[in-house]
């Protein structure tokens, strides 16, 4: 696997992103080919074709690929100025590694005054996109240009997914004060979506009207309330407040690093300016200077969480810290080696926490003992045993994640996730990445479009992740029969081992064991052990999970395997769910809890779920909560108690065929042994164990059978007992053939 801090464009295969598309009228522009659909995207070969995305609203939800480099110099013959950024509300743009050149160009435009005199006024190019929507994907683009009127090279705002893009050049914004903001970001100004594997090598300057540094500047983005993984910035960043990667972080940043010079007038951070979110497995190696305010080699001011990070640059400021300027949050297992004010932090507020952190006790610089850090000499910094309590690679005695690695050639500790998490293999169909360690598994998040195969069980004992380990996945993951085990997932939304799987994603033969999920927050939704939301294909996967739901005002789509199966396919899968529900709000609403899938709009076939609740729940289905898709050849068992509960499905508005349920259903009406509520769905050849034999009530949805009848093949009319089902006649209920159940002799 390529280094997550220096992503290569060659490492991002040219794939067509199969996101949902809009049904729109015929296009107004002519392209080099394609129909704009996911499997046949429009082909863009000229600047005019690219800019047509900004003139035809019908194109904002279509799919595009570049088939040539694009030059946006407005002074070329027949060229136009990109004065307002494009909008991609959904759909995708795949650069396939091609370049977009001369972004942000300037041209003189002839204008006429009221007195009739003619003059020329400079007009400037904008960011490529004004907005990348929540359901949009932009990937594999290489941008080069000089942005004189910002706010960033790629986009003003990203709500979707940006992956494998790079930018080179310069970004500044000396717009008049009446314009929208002069603060700038290198790639994106504001991010509430996901940015993965992107790189910026540029000079980023927040300019005031007199062209002196007077606004904020972030090397990658100005504001982050989303997720940034495996990104890198080099060059220079200058502004009133300046940071190598992000000025203000309220989201998650991981596997990322900077190697840039940062200069601020009123605060600066080598990686982040102010952090109220989460920063893990990151580093900064550039110098930081600020004439006023707090400055830190990694973060200027911290009220969030920082762990497994390091900073090696010098920090010069009135309030300087080698790692953090001012800390009111939590810092653990970090180190700093640069000269500056405090060895690790400049100031630690009374509620700030610092644990297991180290700093270089340099005799050549002022870095004094800040009272919160263990100081080490240069020789001690090069010895693993100096870092007491740290989790190093090469031994399992200190933990399974191996956060740190000592370089073989000598030197200070390396962040394993950045420097030593590479897998064998090439990430292709013929040569998949081979995953053997926990860090390698977690690093899938930085290259989620590649192909992987597990070569060992992955034990994440004692580790907690929120809300997911791999936020998005677009590739192929072959579990090869191995397991991922012993971890805790927390959060309120999009909780799962995988956050979102895209339509081209496939996960096969992966087993999740000993997983614990703890939900929090007023609004909880899309919570599943394997995936929060699945649009791809999941086959031959299993999960064993205990889930504790602290119910807020509304809780939706909580399940043992997948929170929401959004048009995806789930085949031959099993989940065992133990659910504890505790209402913590005065008026809580619960919808679509289930053993396997919370809400299904796709296909669920040949699956089995065992569900157990030790408290009353509401709107629970033994296999699926709400069904608006297709369920075929499935069954569910267990013990379900609550309001509006069904042994197989809670609410059916789709189709159910050749299924059964034997779960004990103790429910307040409406409740049913098979389905609790019908929403104009179709149920055929599906059965449930009658209430008198320990099953569920008969509400007319499905056919009730006695215990003896459930053990007879003839009871299941039209079922395929040759290829799909098997039964130990008179002994057991029907089982799916893939389960390998053997009849007792």
Q: pLDDT at residue 192 above 70?
A: yes
Burial class (CB in 10 A: 0-12, 13-18, 19+), 397: exposed
pLDDT of residue 694: 94
CATH of the domain at 564: 2.160.20
- Whole-number CA gyration radius for the chain: 28
Mean pLDDT in residue range 258-278: 95
* SS3 call for 379: helix
The pLDDT value given to residue 199: 97
Q: Is the pLDDT of residue 303 over 60?
A: yes
- Give the integer Cα–Cα distance in Å for 54 and 528: 38
> Do the domain assignments include residue 301?
no
Contact 230, 256 (CB under 8 A): yes
What are 489-522's pLDDT values in tens digits? 998 889 999 999 999 999 999 999 999 998 877 7
First to last CA, the chain: 50
pLDDT of 5 above 50: no
Distance (Å, rounded) from C-alpha 95 to C-alpha 140? Answer: 5
Q: What's the DSSP call for residue 398?
A: T
Residue 141 has pLDDT above 50, yes or no: yes
From CA 696, how far away is CA 646, in angstroms rounded?
8
636, part of any domain: yes
pLDDT above 90 covers a percentage of the chain that reads 68
Cα 339 to chain centroid, rounded: 35
Residue 228 falls within a domain, yes or no?
yes
* Distance between CA atoms of residues 637 and 378, nearest Å: 62
Q: What is the pLDDT of residue 124?
A: 79
In this prediction, residue 497 carries a pLDDT of 96
546 belongs to a structural domain: yes
- CA distances from residue 449 to 219, 431, 470, 504, 535 in whole angstroms, order as listed: 25, 14, 11, 9, 14
9: confidence class by pLDDT, cuts 50, 70, 90: very low
pLDDT of residue 587: 60
| CA 256/CA 3 separation, integer angstroms | 10
591 falls within a domain: yes
The predicted structure's pLDDT at residue 207: 62
Q: Model confidence over 349-406: pLDDT tens digits?
A: 878 899 999 999 864 444 555 667 889 999 999 999 999 989 998 766 556 778 999 9
Last residue of a domain, one of 240, 267, 288: 240
CA distance 183 to 204: 10
pLDDT tens digits for 85-110? 899 999 999 999 999 999 987 777 77
Contact 326, 349 (CB under 8 A): yes
Q: Which residues touch 421 (CB under 8 Å, ≥6 apart)?
A: 1, 4, 437, 439, 440, 442, 443
Mean pLDDT over 220-227 rounds to 96
Structural domain boundaries, residue 488: 460-714
The verdict on residue 526 lying in a domain is yes
pLDDT per residue as tens digits for the range 638-653: 999 888 899 999 999 9
Which carries the bigger pLDDT value, residue 81 or residue 571?
A: 571
Going from the C-alpha of 681 to that of each of 430, 631, 677, the distances in angstroms are: 43, 11, 10
Query: Given pLDDT bands bounded at 50, 70 and 90, which one contains residue 228?
Result: very high
Q: What's the pLDDT tens digit per position in 538-588?
A: 999 999 999 888 766 678 899 999 999 999 999 999 999 998 877 776 666
Give the phi and the psi of residue 386 in degrees, each rounded to 5: -70, -25
SS3 call for 190:
strand
Kindly report the pTM of this predicted structure. 0.90
Mean per-residue pLDDT over the chain, rounded:
88
Q: Is residue 107 part of a domain?
A: yes
More confident residue, 358 or 54: 358
Domain end, chosen from 240, 258, 280, is at: 240
Chosen domain end from 221, 240, 259 = 240
The pLDDT tens digits of the residues spanning 142-181 come to 999 988 877 899 999 999 999 999 999 999 876 655 344 4
Say if 282 falls within a structural domain: no
Quote the number of domains for the chain: 2
pLDDT of residue 530: 97
Whether the predicted pLDDT of 11 surpasses 60:
no
What pLDDT does residue 492 have?
A: 85
């Amino acid at each position: 696997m390529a280094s997550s801090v220096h992503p290569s464009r060659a490492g991002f295969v040219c794939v067509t992103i199969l996101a949902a598309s809009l049904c729109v009228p015929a296009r107004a522009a002519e392209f080099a080919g394609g129909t704009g659909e996911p499997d046949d995207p429009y082909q863009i070969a000229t600047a005019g074709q690219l800019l047509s995305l900004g003139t035809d609203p019908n194109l904002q939800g279509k799919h595009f690929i570049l088939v040539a480099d694009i030059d946006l110099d407005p002074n070329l013959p027949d060229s136009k100025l990109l004065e307002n950024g494009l909008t991609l509300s959904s759909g995708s743009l795949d650069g396939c590694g091609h370049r977009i050149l001369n972004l942000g160009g300037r041209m003189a435009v002839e204008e006429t005054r009221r007195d009739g005199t003619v003059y020329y006024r400079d007009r400037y190019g904008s960011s490529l996109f004004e907005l990348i929507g929540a359901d949009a994907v932009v990937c594999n683009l290489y941008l080069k240009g000089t942005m004189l009127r910002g706010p960033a090279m790629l986009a003003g705002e990203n709500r979707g997914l940006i992956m494998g893009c790079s930018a080179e050049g310069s970004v500044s914004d000396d717009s008049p004060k009446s314009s929208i903001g002069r603060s700038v970001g290198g790639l994106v100004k504001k991010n509430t979506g996901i940015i993965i594997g992107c790189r910026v090598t540029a000079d980023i300057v927040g300019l005031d009207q007199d062209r002196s540094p007077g606004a904020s500047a972030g090397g990658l983005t100005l504001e982050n309330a989303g997720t940034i993984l495996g990104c890198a910035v080099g060059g220079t960043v200058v502004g009133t407040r300046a940071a190598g990667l992000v000025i203000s972080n309220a989201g998650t940043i991981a596997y990322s690093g900077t190697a840039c010079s940062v200069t601020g007038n009123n605060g600066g951070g080598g990686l982040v300016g102010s952090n109220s979110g989460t920063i893990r497995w990151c580093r900064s190696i550039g110098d930081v200077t600020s004439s006023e305010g707090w400055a830190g080699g990694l973060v200027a001011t911290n009220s969030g969480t920082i762990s497994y990070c390091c900073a090696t640059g010098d920090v010069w400021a009135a309030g300087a810290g080698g790692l953090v300027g001012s800390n009111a949050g939590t810092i653990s297992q970090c180190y700093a080696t640069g000269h500056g004010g405090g060895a690790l932090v400049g100031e630690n507020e009374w509620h700030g926490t610092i644990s297991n952190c180290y700093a270089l006790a340099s005799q050549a610089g002022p870095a004094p003992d800040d009272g919160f850090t263990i100081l080490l000499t240069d020789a001690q910094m090069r010895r693993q045993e100096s870092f007491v309590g740290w989790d190093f690679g090469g031994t399992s005695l200190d933990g399974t994640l191996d956060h740190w690695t000592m370089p073989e050639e000598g030197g200070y500790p390396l962040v394993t996730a950045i420097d030593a998490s590479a897998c064998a293999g090439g990430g292709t169909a013929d040569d998949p990445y081979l995953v053997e360690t926990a860090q390698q598994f977690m690093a899938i998040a930085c290259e989620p479009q590649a192909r992987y195969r597990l070569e060992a069980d992955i034990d994440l004992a004692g580790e907690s992740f929120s809300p997911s380990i791999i936020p998005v996945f677009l590739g192929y993951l072959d579990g090869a029969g191995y397991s991922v085990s012993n971890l805790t997932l927390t959060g309120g939304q999009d909780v799962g081992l995988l956050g979102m799987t895209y339509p081209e994603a496939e996960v096969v033969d992966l087993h999740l064991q000993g997983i614990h999920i703890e939900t929090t927050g007023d609004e909880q939704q899309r919570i599943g052990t394997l995936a929060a939301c699945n649009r791809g294909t999941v086959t031959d996967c299993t999960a064993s999970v205990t889930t504790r739901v602290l119910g807020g005002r509304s809780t939706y789509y909580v399940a043992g395997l997948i929170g929401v199966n959004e048009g995806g396919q789930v085949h031959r899968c099993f989940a065992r769910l133990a659910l504890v529900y505790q209402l913590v709000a005065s008026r809580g609403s619960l919808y679509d809890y289930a053993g396997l899938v919370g809400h299904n709009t796709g296909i669920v076939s040949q699956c089995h779920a065992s569900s157990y609740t030790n408290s009353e729940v509401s709107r629970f289905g033994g296999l699926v909560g709400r069904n608006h898709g297709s369920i075929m050849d499935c069954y569910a068992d267990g013990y379900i108690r609550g309001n509006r509960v069904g042994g197989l499905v809670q609410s059916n508005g789709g189709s159910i065929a050749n299924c059964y349920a034997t779960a004990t259903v103790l429910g307040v009406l409406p409740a049913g042994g098979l389905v609790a509520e019908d929403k104009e769905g179709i149920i055929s050849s599906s059965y449930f164990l009658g209430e008198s034999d320990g099953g569920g009530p008969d509400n007319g949805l499905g056919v009730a059978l006695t215990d003896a009848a459930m053990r007879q093949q003839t009871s299941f009319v039209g079922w395929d007992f040759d290829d799909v089902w098997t039964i130990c006649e008179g002994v057991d209920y029907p089982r799916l053939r893939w389960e390998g159940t053997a009849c007792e002799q």
